Amino acid sequence: MKVFKFGGASLKNSKGFQNVAALIKEYANEPLLVVVSAIDKTTNALERVVALAQSGKDYSSILKEIYLQHKQISNELGLEADIVHQNLETLVQAIASKAETKGDYDFVYDQAVSQGEILSSTLLSSYLQASKFPVQWMDARKYVHTDETYREGKVNWTQSQASIESLKEILQKKIIVTQGFIGGTTQNNTTTLGREGSDFSAAIFATCLKAKSVTIWKDVPGVMSADPKRLKNAVVFDELPYQEAAEMTYYGASVIHPKTIKPLANANIPLWVKNFDDPTLPGTVIHDCKVDKLPPLIVFKDNQCLISCRVTDYSFVNEPQLNKIFETLTQKDVRINVMQNSAISFSFCVDFREPKISKLIEALSKNFEVYYNTDLTLITVKNYDTATFQQYRTMPGVMLEQSSRSTLQVLVRN
Ligand code: ASP
């Protein structure tokens, strides 16, 4: 069997839904499980709904937009008579009460924001059914079991394996349509797996079902050596070893979610990245292979924050002090993207996620003099050559630079 994953950009209009049906028809040719994200920018819109609802502000216009966009797609797909179409308003209204729930913010976020995937998968499964595909809609929350870390649910693999395996029988007869990004706790609460987590969901299902392959259908021709919107001469890789792809995602390449590769590599399941609009393009396969000479790979990671902790008592930065910094980072659940130390200060760069980073800075300030800069971009050049090494180190606005035998990283002001 195979797993296909379609992201929000592919499902942004009725043409996208029609294309999904065409791709399933043409490329599935064996049992198939389909994982979908929320359509278009629905997750961002739902995040705004929760933020407004939680601060007692009006969010009705955003919710209405979400409703109208789904309704338009449903209309254009000819689903007016469909029960889903009729229930669309009820489904969207349910989001309001979830977003207004009083309680832990991250918990509320997951209950409400997860509805984007419920909507998209419901719509897709209705459309496929109307198009005479044998389809079964499935609630991922009953199969992807997680702990209670809301917004970053940690998967319980043993439990998930047992539940997901039970889908094998259904897959013999039907195409399963399910949600990416979401999971469920033993208390039947909804969790999410972290933004852009649908790729990871596809990997979870594929691993537990021992799938033949996973295909992520994207709006790019495959995995590229840089973001083509930023670098015109970016090239598409035909194939990549798992390790190389995993490192790319670590440095911030957004083409695949960072958690996706590991389970697939362990189970030796190939991951295809294929173009949604032109499936005849070869795409990229990430699998167990050796590639002799890869071209330099350039990853841009925006919205970075450089934090420097200075010791205040004329001593040098020592291990116990570093320990304090790392303990605080662990407590606040913040990941370092690059770090460097000097005699009296330790600097590191993190994703600038408010309010998490403000809380981190506040905590660090108890022991150190803390300075920080925002609006920075971390550029990683992996497998650099002489030309790219020179080009990126000498860029204007470099605030921090670090290189190893194969990788150069520069943090630059925007
Ligand atoms: N819809 C979620 C997001 O936008 C998950 C995903 O797209 O993978 O983050």
Residue 314 is predicted with a pLDDT of 81
Domain membership flag for residue 272: no
Domain membership flag for residue 363: yes
Domain membership flag for residue 229: no
Residues touching ligand 1 (Cβ under 6 Å) are 7-8, 37-38, 43, 116, 180-181, 195-198
**Average pLDDT of span 335-364:** 95
Average pLDDT over the chain reads: 95
Considering its fold, how many domains does the chain have in total? 2
d(CA 92, CA 155): 28
pLDDT tens, 13-23? Answer: 999 999 999 99
Domain membership flag for residue 379: yes
Q: List the strands of the sheet with 175-179, edge to edge.
A: 135-137, 175-179, 32-36, 2-6, 213-218, 271-275, 284-287, 239-241
Q: Which residues 6+ apart lie within 8 Å of 311 measured at CB?
A: 317, 321, 344, 345, 368, 369
Domain membership flag for residue 240: no
Residue 203's pLDDT band (cuts 50, 70, 90): very high
pLDDT tens, 71-128? Answer: 999 999 999 888 887 788 888 889 999 999 999 999 999 999 999 999 999 999 999 9
Residues 195 and 303 in one domain: no
By the 8 A CB rule, do 376 and 412 touch? Answer: yes
Residues 53 and 192 in one domain: yes
Residues 17 and 131 in one domain: yes
Q: How far is CA 193 from the centre of its chain?
A: 8
Domain membership flag for residue 199: yes
Distance from the alpha carbon of residue 60 to the mean position of ligand 1, in angstroms: 22
Residue minimizing CA distance to atom 5 of ligand 1: 196
**Average pLDDT of span 29-57:** 96
By the 8 A CB rule, do 192 and 164 touch? Answer: no
Residues 42 and 175 in one domain: yes
Domain CATH for 309: 3.30.2130.10
Residues 20 and 137 in one domain: yes
If one residue of 198, 199, 256 were mutated to test the ligand 1 pocket, choosing by the most ligand atoms within 8 A of its CB, it would be 198
Last residue of a domain, one of 174, 192, 218: 218
Distance from the alpha carbon of residue 12 to the mean position of ligand 1, in angstroms: 13
Residue 375 has pLDDT above 80, yes or no: yes
Q: By residue range, what is the domain housing residue 135? A: 2-218
**Average pLDDT of span 36-63:** 97
Residue 274's pLDDT band (cuts 50, 70, 90): very high
Domain membership flag for residue 261: no
Residues 79 and 214 in one domain: yes
Last residue of a domain, one of 218, 248, 279: 218
Last residue of a domain, one of 218, 252, 279: 218
Domain membership flag for residue 118: yes
Residues 84 and 193 in one domain: yes
Domain CATH for 98: 3.40.1160.10
Residue minimizing CA distance to atom 6 of ligand 1: 196
